[in-house]
Structure formats: C-alpha cells, structure tokens
Amino acid sequence: MTAMGSVSSQLRLRQDSLFGLSGSPLLAPVRDSARLRLCKVGGCTFVNQYLVVKYLGRGSSGRVFLCMCLDDHRLYAVKIVKKDPQSSSQRMATAAAARAASPLSDAPGASPGPAGPSPTNGRRQRASRDPLADLRREVAVMRRALHPNVVALREVVDDCASNKMLLVMDYLEGGPVMTREGLERGHRIPEAVARLYFRDMAKALAYLHSQRVVHGDLKPENALMGAGGRVALSDFGCSKLMATEDGEFDRCNGTPAFLAPEMMKPHARYRGRAADVYALGACLYAFIFGSIPFKADTVMRLFEVVQCTPVTFPRDIPASEGLKALLLGMLEKDPAQRLTLPQVMAHPWMTAGDGLLPLAQPQPSSPQCAQQQQLGEQRPEEQQREERQAAQAAPRADGGAASVEGAPNGGPVVAATGGGAGGDWQQGPTEGDAAGVDAAALERLQQQEAEAEVQRDQLLRASLLGLVANDLPVHTFAAGEPLMLRGQHGAHMFYIIDGEVEVHYQPSAMQAADVAAATGSAAATPPSAGRSAAWRWGSGGSAAEQGQQQQWQGAAQPSVEGEELPATLIETAACACELLSTLRRGPREFLVARRGPGDFVGEMEALSGSASRRHASVVAASSSVQAAAIPYAAAKAYLSRTPLAKQQLAQLMWLRQSENIVLEGLARLAALGEEVLPRLLEE
C-alpha cells in the first residue's frame, strides 16, 4: 500500500499515439479532386486513396463510411452523395414521410414553408426544392468554416463522369453527443459534462454567425465528440448564408422538435441567428432532461404546442437555477426578447462560477468577404468545377503538379509515398483556396483554444484525482511480465506510477483465423481474402501455419472489381508490411500503444456495462513497472458519481479504439501486399 498523493500530480489527460491520432489535424483549405475511382480487391474496398473500414450511418444527404487514408493512415468520415436529382428527390420524399411520424426526424423538404405548416404548402415547398443546390450550399458552408468546433471538410471529390460526389471530413471518434434513439429513451447528460459540450457548440455557432452562416438544423445528433475532448457541429445541409446583418428568411427547414416558434407561424419571416439560438437552447434542454422541451403526437400538433405552451422543467431531475434561467432566456417565444448568442456566451452558468474562462466573441466577417462568398456561390456549377480542375493542374512551387490523390493531412507514421500531399496541406489557408479567411484571426482563434484547453484540462484532471488519491495496492512488474492478458476476466484497471507498458493487439482477422483453426475450418479462408498472410510479418508462425500458407498458394487468382487500383496502393502495402514487422510482438500480436507514468490502462473494461468483461488486449511491462491497481467495482462506483472523470476516460477509450482500427487497416493492407498484389502483378 502507498499514499498516492505524491504521484497523482503526474496524471496525464493526453496519451501519445504511435499512429499520430492523439493530435487534431491542422485547419487547412479544402482540397478538390476531379477523379472518382472505386475498386475492390482481396476483400478490401477502395475509394480513391481511402480504404473503406466500415459503414457509419446515413446523413442528411448520403451514406457515411469510416475510411483510412493510404497516405497518412488517418481515419476520415467519407460521405458519398448521389448527384442525381431524381434520386435526391426520392430520398427527400422518404424522409418527409418519416418526419410526419416523428418530430425528431429530419426532413428538410417537408418543413413548413412561407405560409406556415399547412400540408398543401408543404407539398408545394418540396416541389420547389433543388437537392443539388442544397448540396452545393452544404459544401460552400463547410469550405468557409475553419474552426476547431466545426467538423472540418478536408476534400471534395467531384467527378463530372460520375453520379456520386465524395465529401471527406474529419472523423470524430465519440460520435453524436446524443443520438435520436438515446433521446427517445430518455438518456441524460450530467450538468457538468453538458456544460463542456454546450460551450463548444456555442463557440462553433458564434463562429458560423460571424461568417454570416445560419446552421439551420441544430440538434444533439449533429454535435459530434472527438477523442481530444472537443465537440464539433456537423451536417450543414439546411444551412443558409445571410445576405444582410439581420439575416431574415422566409423558408424553413430542419427538425420540427428544434424549430423556433416564429418559424411555424403562417406567412412569417424569421431571423436566422435567433432561430439558431432557440435550437441551441433546445439541445441543452435535451442534454439535461433527456427529452425535447415540447411534445405532441403529430408535427402539426407540436407546432401549436410550441407557440402556446410555456417552458417547464421536470421536478424529478435536478438542475441548477442558473441553468434554468439560461434555458428560459434561450427558449423565449418572442425572438426580440430571446437571449442573443453573445448574451448566452456571457451567461454566468457558462463559466461554472469562474471555474472556466469566459467565451471570446469571434471577429465578424467583413462585408467584402461575405460578398465574395455569395458571388462565388452564384457562379454556375460547371464554371466552379472548371476553376477547381485548373487549380489542380497548376504546377506547385516545388516544380511538380498538384496531386489528385493526396492525403488531406500529414501524420507521424511514415507516409506511403515519398512526396505525399501531407506537407503541402500543413501550410494553412492560401489566397486561392480560402478566399475571405483571415490568417491572423485564425491564429488568434488557435491561441484562444489553447488557453481554454489548459483550463479545461485542469478541471478534468481534478475530477480524475479521486481515482488515485486514496491508498491503493501498488504492484511491481518485471520487464516482459503481463499486467493484463487477452481473454481473461479483469478485476482491476491500473494507473502507471513508474516505467512503461506496451499494449499488444491482435487484428480481428487473426482472431477469426484462431476460431476457424479451433473448429477445424482454418483452411477455408485464404490470405487472398485479406486475412492470414499477416502471420508472416517478422518471424514466422508455427509449422502448421506455414503448411496452411503452402496450401493457400494454390488458391484461385485474385481479381480486381471496378476501376483501377489506387496509384499508391502497392507502395502503401509494402510500407504497411514493413511497419507491422517493427510492431510485431508475437505470432499474431502487434504493438498498438505505449503507456507511461500518469496513464491509465484497462479503462475500456472499467467503462463497459457488464460486471465482468474479458480483456481485448495484452498489456505487458516493457521495463520495470510500478502500477496502482484500481478494482473495477470501485472505479465504476467513482465514475458514476463523477461524470467529468467518466467523460475523460471515455475520451481515452475512443483513442484506443481508433488505434485498433488503424492497426486493423494496416493489417489488411499488409495482407494485400503479401499475397494478393504480387499475384496480380504476375498476370
């Protein structure tokens, strides 16, 4: 036993990543590409230079996939949107029918129009909508929005020969702050955690308003959480550009449960900024109370209730008086009496009694910048595409041509190509790609974010100290000795006091091979399917494994479905093989992370809902290690009482999960390099 006070001061909130995932990519102008290529080979699907990892869900205008970039090994959310107007109209009609059944459903085309929420007017409004114009507006807004709390658009792939467009965006590991299903089930967020989420959302919205952009569809599921602790707004399909400072509109779209009362009145014009403030207040209400402010059986009835019923708070759910006062001000029915966004950001509740820095107001966009943006959006789509293609073909300063298939951002892992685009895109906004972006304002913003992050970290660190402040048993582990073994039921999580541990992970393809071997069907899945060739990275496996490799040499020749392979795939696969050989720690295990003094290990199990969960990884001492053992039962009890601490451990867990996903992707690439690609080249 030991007193932990002397070592708790080294507690770390940021864990280094072998794959460069712990730091947020730098803000940079959007990259444009004019070629869209899709192919499948060896069980892997590629869209341009992106390896498709899994399906994430459907956004307002298309399906979203998690992808890994071949050039920087970072994870991105890639939205695939159909440009066919007929298909878009069909999707909007389907969404309209869904929204008629639920006020929480989003169907922009079904929203009440200038004459209010009459069914006849709704049909007329839908017919007048142009889905392609909405898509262009979404892209235009994201091009303009360079802010840490706005999901960054990294690349637009618009091939005139294809019916699809790709939007490559940052991947935020934690997903939505609150899903629609979670809201329907009454899930709630503790007030201290909701404050941190809400501050980030308010900063993002203030920035958008300073750029004369109205979000138009604020709701909990459009706020995404990242492993670095930030929340970012997403989904700009309903956004609008304000032509004047007042920003008045006469057409409504968005999600009914979060529409302001003035948007529901017949023949009414409304101010976009005030409507966004109402929706932001409705989000905060949902975070705290696990429900929307007003409920009704139908959308039409909801419109009546919102305009006539005062805001009330559930008596059985605790909430501070300051929070209630803020909500009443934001949900005020009269937009002229409603709190403005600057008033919201200056509200005492936002600083937690001076525990957090006041939120700074962004500099407003100049009228000239706004005019440039509007003029740019009025140019014909074909002209805009030709200008982007011309920019792509222009020679770079280093004498080369701008690459169509480059990485949106560089990373610390060795790039697959010697001259990737990562370095170019670390330079920040350029005159041609980010018209109206103020470099000095961007620098001030980053400085403000750094200061806010320091203070937020202090708050989170204080919340975690209770886990290690008490006397805990301290164990000493010799180099090579495991702290945790995969497959064992865990009893403790550990806090590293001294020394360093390695986290070893087995890619799921190899786990599947182990199961197949145990059931006598291992030979049914050859390496050409992107699986067991990874056994050969580094020192080889057992004699039985080598025999299986020989048996698989006679497997059918692999084929390529679709268009040509990504230009850098062969070199990337070779680099993945080389990298994994350095990370290999056993026949099927690879180093995925290192943890040192001040780090926790085993947090994934501590956050699981089950009473006992098997370890998914091996944690072994790489040197002599001292670690405090925290029983899972005690950790779960503390986290249930301290939501900020639970939030911080969740962020560490999201980072760990992303590291595992990247290793999985590298394993699939290496399998292609070992077995599939050489045989394709022989043909």
Spatial CA neighbour of 219 closest among 237, 207, 243:
237
Task: Flag whether pLDDT at 298 surpasses 50.
Answer: yes
Model confidence pLDDT, tens digit, residues 598-621: 999 988 878 876 555 667 789 999
Entry pTM: 0.79
Model confidence pLDDT, tens digit, residues 276-289: 999 999 999 999 99
Spatial CA neighbour of 218 closest among 242, 241, 202:
202
- At 378, the pLDDT band (50, 70, 90 cuts) reads very low
SS3 143: helix
Cα separation of 622 and 482, whole Å? 9
Position of tokens 């899903």? 179
- At 681, the pLDDT band (50, 70, 90 cuts) reads low
- Biggest CA pair distance of the chain: 79
Model confidence pLDDT, tens digit, residues 460-515: 888 888 888 778 999 999 999 999 988 888 788 999 999 999 999 988 765 544 43
CB 178 within 8 A of CB 69: no
Cα separation of 385 and 152, whole Å? 21
Cα separation of 666 and 411, whole Å? 14
Spatial CA neighbour of 493 closest among 645, 355, 668:
645
Model confidence pLDDT, tens digit, residues 631-641: 988 999 999 99
CB 25 within 8 A of CB 74: yes
Catalytic residue among 217, 235, 276, 599: 217
Percent of the chain exceeding pLDDT 70 equals 69
The answer on whether 83 is annotated among ligand-binding residues is yes
- What sign does the dihedral 304-308-314-318 (CA atoms) show? positive
- What sign does the dihedral 541-545-551-556 (CA atoms) show? negative
Spatial CA neighbour of 58 closest among 189, 193, 180, 209:
180
Spatial CA neighbour of 291 closest among 176, 216, 182, 202:
182
Average pLDDT for residues 362-378, to the nearest whole number? 53
Please report the pLDDT score of residue 432 as a whole number.
38
71 is catalytic: no
Cα separation of 644 and 647, whole Å? 5
Average pLDDT for residues 320-324, to the nearest whole number? 96
- At 132, the pLDDT band (50, 70, 90 cuts) reads confident
Domains of the chain: 1-27+439-683 (2.60.120.10), 34-351 (1.10.510.10)
Please report the pLDDT score of residue 214 as a whole number.
92
